Amino acid sequence: MRSDELAGAAGAAAERPPGDSKSERTRRRILDAAALVLRRKGYAGTRLSDIAKVAGMQAGSLYYHFSSREALVAEVMGTGVAVVQAQMQAALAALPPEASHRNRLAAAIEIHLIAVLEQSDYASATIKLLGQVPKDIQKQQLANERAYGKLWRQLLRDAREAGEIRGDLNLSAMRMMIVGALNWAVEWYHPEDGPAEQIARDFVEMVLHGLVPRR
């Protein structure tokens, strides 16, 4: 599959306008089924027939919506990043203009964790698949994640320049630690651990208390 086709597949979720057509509902059902199966079986162990069974349709019908298994996998992985990015951008945009950079960082941490847990099949599948999928899919997914990473870099840079977080820490390492820990929550979180919102608030406290400037 060509890289331009993969890019289109992976970015489709972010580019498609919201709708509730029968085709859109079917496409979403396929993606949800694919995320679930890929999370459980991995890339090599997943067949289109497995996905079709979970989606409640014939395997051949999948080709009406996706040109190949690779295109479907690429969109599952791209959807995970696109949804979290869109929710984080919306949450940040909703903050009042006078919100501190530390509060903006806290909002980003909370919404990322909640979004990841709400779409745990997509998040967990993406984590599992990154080392399993073909190189062209990996390359496109890493490009998606770098674009999202720019948001985090800006949040951390702005907070440091404002003196609201410590200036003696490597921001790249901090970004990787924060996002990596947030993403990994899908592997250990259970509802009995408490509401996702409370886990997110606890995570904010743990992160920001380690980042605040020393007095």
User: Which single residue is written with the structure tokens 């980042």?
Assistant: 211
160: nearest Cα among 85, 152, 113, 183: 152
* 71 Cβ contact partners less than 8 Å away, ≥ 6 residues apart: 1, 5, 6, 9
User: Which single residue is written with the structure tokens 């203009």?
Assistant: 97
- Express each pLDDT in 71-95 by its tens digit: 999 999 998 888 888 888 999 999 9
Torsion on CA atoms 176, 178, 180, 185, rounded to nearest 10 = 180
Amino acid at 85: Q
Q: 119: which DSSP letter?
A: T
Which architecture, in CATH terms, is 3-211? Orthogonal Bundle (1.10)
Q: What would the mean pLDDT of 166-174 be, rounded to a whole number?
A: 89
Q: How wide is the angle at C-alpha 6 spanned by C-alphas 153 and 30, nearest 5°?
A: 100
Q: How high is the mean pLDDT of the chain?
A: 85
| Gap between the Cα atoms of 98 and 134, Å rounded | 45
User: Which single residue is written with the structure tokens 């993969």?
Assistant: 6
| Gap between the Cα atoms of 122 and 120, Å rounded | 5
Q: What would the mean pLDDT of 4-16 be, rounded to a whole number?
A: 41
pLDDT score, position 29: 93
Domain ranges of the chain: 3-211
| Gap between the Cα atoms of 136 and 139, Å rounded | 5
pLDDT score, position 13: 42
User: Which single residue is written with the structure tokens 């067949």?
Assistant: 47
